[in-house]
């Protein structure tokens, strides 16, 4: 792994990709744990503290689209957020002191895994500076057919694009007419591949109509001196999420563009925010039925 090249590609294209970062043993661990966590969703009536569910979810036929904050659900996910090879790549991009801002597993199940409309993560997670890198660990093979993340190379240099609709509501998505969707490329790879993307990189993903699941474990990293603006961070929580470096109350302010993700028609995850969209780019399961 040439971390200097990775950091350069991240700066240039807004993302980089590292094949084989996680090996067979780590993947087996993560696979078993993730299946074990999902098994706990049997019988749940709807969304919970841990699970975000598809619209077609029922208690007898659980359809989970996301495991929320897995690093709080099981220590295994926290330990892999601190995986040395992963941190080495993140530190090459963000510097030595790193904090895990957030984590999630987007499951994108075979046949019905939800699409996500085009967006920039920065619109959801403004900080005092923009030194953030969003890591995605492929827990399954990701191919053209099972809903890969689609990214628009270089789009991180366009600045923040509006994620509010014409009535002023935060829609959690960009009007597709405002971006060059034809320039998008899929992030593909065998299990264990990791991608890191810039918080302003425009990306989205389609409905999974294939017979293959596509689980992505996201670790959102921030430089330790980037303070989240979107929620009231408590110091113990802040220090408890450091994955490299030591606590330092000195925060770096930079002239970043911020538009708060408020007000929302439907609160909750990006799936909820986007459910109120009048116009969609990606087909949904409902549209197929
Ligand atoms: O799971 C995906 O395909 C995209 C994930 C994403 O962009 C998000 O959760 O914000």
Q: Is the CB of 65 under 6 A from ligand 1?
A: no
Residue 168: how many other CB atoms lie within 10 Å: 9
pLDDT at 45 over 90: yes
- The enclosing H or E element of 24 equals helix 24-39
Q: For the segment 80-93, what is each residue's pLDDT rounded down to a tens digit?
A: 999 999 999 999 99
pLDDT at 288 over 60: no
pLDDT confidence bin for 289, thresholds 50/70/90: very low
Q: Is the CB of 216 under 6 A from ligand 1?
A: yes
pLDDT confidence bin for 276, thresholds 50/70/90: confident
pLDDT of residue 287: 63
Q: How many domains does the chain have?
A: 1
pLDDT at 58 over 90: yes
pLDDT confidence bin for 121, thresholds 50/70/90: very high
Chain Cα centroid distance, residue 279: 22
Instruction: Classify residue 203 by its DSSP letter.
Output: E
Q: Is the CB of 109 under 6 A from ligand 1?
A: no
Which CATH number is 102's domain given?
A: 2.60.120.620
Q: Are 197 and 130 in contact (CB under 8 A)?
A: no
Q: Which protein residue's CA is at the shortest distance from atom 7 of ligand 1? A: 204
29: exposed, middle or buried (Cβ count in 10 Å: 0-12, 13-18, 19+): middle
Q: For the segment 204-220, what is each residue's pLDDT rounded down to a tens digit?
A: 999 999 999 999 999 99
pLDDT of residue 140: 98
Helix, coil or strand: residue 98: strand
Helix, strand, coil content of the chain in percent (nearest 5):
25, 20, 50
d(CA 104, CA 221): 12
Q: CA 238, 159, 241 angle in degrees (round to 5)?
A: 10
pLDDT confidence bin for 181, thresholds 50/70/90: very high
What's the whole-number mean pLDDT along residues 158-187? 97
**Maximal C-alpha separation, the chain:** 53
Best residue for ligand 1 mutational test, from 67, 116, 213 (most atoms within 8 Å of Cβ): 116
pLDDT at 52 over 80: yes
Mean pLDDT over each residue of the chain, to the nearest integer = 96
Q: What string of DSSP letters covers 63-86?
A: -EEEEE-HHHH-HHHHHHHT-HHH
d(CA 74, CA 217): 13
Q: What are 210's two structure tokens?
A: 């294939």
Question: What is the DSSP pairing of strand 98-106 with strand 216-223?
Answer: antiparallel
pLDDT of residue 201: 99
Chain Cα centroid distance, residue 283: 20
d(CA 134, CA 122): 10
Q: Which atom of ligand 1 is nearest to the CA of 104?
A: 9
Q: Is the CB of 116 under 6 A from ligand 1?
A: yes
pLDDT of residue 153: 98
d(CA 199, CA 130): 7
pLDDT of residue 285: 85
Query: Ligand 1 mean position to 240 CA, how many Å?
Result: 25
Q: Which atom of ligand 1 is nearest to the CA of 108?
A: 1
Q: Are 95 and 131 in contact (CB under 8 A)?
A: yes
What's the whole-number mean pLDDT along residues 224-228? 97
Q: How much of the chain, in percent, has pLDDT values that exceed 90?
A: 94
Domain hosting residue 258, numbered range: 3-288
């Amino acid at each position: 792994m040439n971390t200097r090249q990775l950091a350069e590609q991240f700066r240039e294209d807004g993302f980089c990709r590292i094949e084989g970062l996680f090996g067979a043993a780590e993947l087996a661990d993560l696979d078993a744990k993730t299946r074990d966590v999902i098994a706990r969703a049997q019988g749940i009536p709807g969304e919970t503290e841990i699970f975000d569910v598809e619209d077609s979810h029922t208690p007898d036929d659980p359809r989970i689209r996301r495991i929320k904050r897995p690093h709080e659900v099981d220590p295994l996910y926290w330990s892999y957020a601190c995986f040395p090879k992963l941190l080495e790549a993140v530190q090459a991009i963000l510097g030595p002191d790193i904090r895990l801002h957030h984590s999630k597993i987007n499951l994108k199940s075979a046949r019905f895994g939800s699409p996500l409309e085009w967006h920039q993560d920065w619109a959801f997670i403004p900080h005092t500076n923009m030194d953030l890198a969003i890591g995605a660990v492929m827990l399954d093979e990701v191919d053209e057919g099972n809903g890969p993340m689609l990214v628009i190379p270089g789009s991180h240099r366009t600045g923040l694009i509006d994620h509010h609709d014409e009535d002023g509501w935060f829609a959690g998505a960009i009007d597709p007419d405002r971006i060059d969707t034809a320039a998008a490329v899929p992030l593909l790879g065998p299990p264990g591949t990791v991608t890191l993307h810039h918080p302003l990189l425009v990306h989205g993903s389609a409905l999974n109509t294939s017979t293959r699941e596509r689980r992505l474990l996201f670790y959102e990293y921030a430089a330790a001196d980037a303070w989240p603006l979107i929620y009231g961070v408590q110091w113990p929580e802040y220090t408890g999420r450091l994955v490299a470096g030591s606590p330092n109350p000195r925060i770096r302010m930079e002239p970043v563009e911020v538009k708060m993700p408020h007000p929302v028609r439907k609160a909750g995850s990006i799936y909820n925010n986007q459910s109120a969209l009048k116009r969609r780019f990606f087909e949904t399961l409902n549209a197929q039925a």
